[in-house]
Amino acid sequence: MIKVKNLYKTFKTKDLETHVLKGIDLEVKEGEFLGIMGKSGAGKSTLMYQISLLDHPTKGEIVLNGINTEEMNHEERTKMRLSTLGYVFQDYALIPELSALENVMIPLLMQGHSSDEAISISRKILESIGLAERINNKPSQLSGGEQQRVSIARAMAHNPKILFADEPTANLDSVSGNSVIELFQEIHKKGQTIVMVTHEAEYAKYCDRIVYLEDGKIVRESKP
């Protein structure tokens, strides 16, 4: 599903070069729940941004679903993000002036679903994660845990092939964090491929496999 070969990422400023990723090789199988762990500054989020097509690597190859993403143009990458990938960000990344329902609807509308269809799909998924009573609330009217659940609903609504999550529990208390991870587990059980960056070992245990990054390199892999 995902094949990463010899991936490098270097940030350049006027007089400084920072090598964040230094030759990463990684493979994620369909239906796998992969955890990426490491200390702060190890390059885990940077790795996720490269393989989730939010950024361009300096060197290397990323193959998603058999397609070499470095050969894709800007529009094709946008299209692939919309059709194939789903994102859950650390700070939820919901659009503040949209209700929970509308936040979930946007990618569906962009895909060409009718408004009625988009509403129906969004409502169902929000109901399924226990937010039936909160669909018309704006993000500012929701708790952190609820916002993250809306964010997951948005990421899942268009049925992506791969779900990327960047420290999804970092801003949550343990109760909300647990419920979010349980939600991931539930989704994963239905066959969803998930790539999750986390620094919290207690949540990493739900993954099928964990890769550890240190100084821009994968130093080891383990199964919980």
Partner 1 sequence: MKEKKYSNKKWFNTVRVAWFLAKRQIKGSNKSTTFLIVFIMTLTFLNLVVVSGILVGLIEGGNIANKEQYTGDVIITTVAGEPDISRTHEIESTLSKMQGIENISLRYIENGRVEANYKTRRDFSTLPDVVATQIAGIDTKAEDSLSNLSKYVVEGEYLSPNESGKILIGANLLRRYSAGFGDYFASLEGVYPGEEVKVTIDDRTKTFIVKGIVDTKVGEVSMRAFMTEEDFWRLVDRPGINANEIAVDLKPNSTISADRVKSNLVSVGFVNDGKIQTALEAIPDFLNQIKIAFSLLGNVIGLIGIVVASITIFIVIFINAVTRRKYIGIMKGIGISERAIEISYILQSIFYASAGGILGMIVVYALLVPFFLSHPLDFPFSDGILVAPIGETSFRFALLLLVTLVAGYIPARNIVKKNTLDSILGR
Report the interface residues with partner 1, using CB under 8 A: 49, 54-55, 75, 78-79, 81-83, 85, 87, 89, 93, 95-98, 102, 105-107, 109-113, 117, 121, 125, 154-159
Least gap, CB of 55 to partner 1 (angstroms)? 5
Least gap, CB of 99 to partner 1 (angstroms)? 9
Query: Based on CB atoms, which residue is closest to partner 1, 68 or 78?
Result: 78
Closest CA to 192 of 174, 208, 178, 204: 208
Query: Based on CB atoms, which residue is closest to partner 1, 1 or 110?
Result: 110
Query: Based on CB atoms, which residue is closest to partner 1, 90 or 207?
Result: 90
Least gap, CB of 108 to partner 1 (angstroms)? 9
Helices (H), the chain: 44-51, 74-83, 100-111, 115-128, 144-157, 174-189, 201-204
- Angle formed at CA 47 by CA 32 and CA 91, multiple of 5 degrees: 85
CB atoms near residue 158 (< 10 Å): 21
Least gap, CB of 167 to partner 1 (angstroms)? 13
HEC secondary structure over 180-199? HHHHHHHHHHCCCEEEEECC
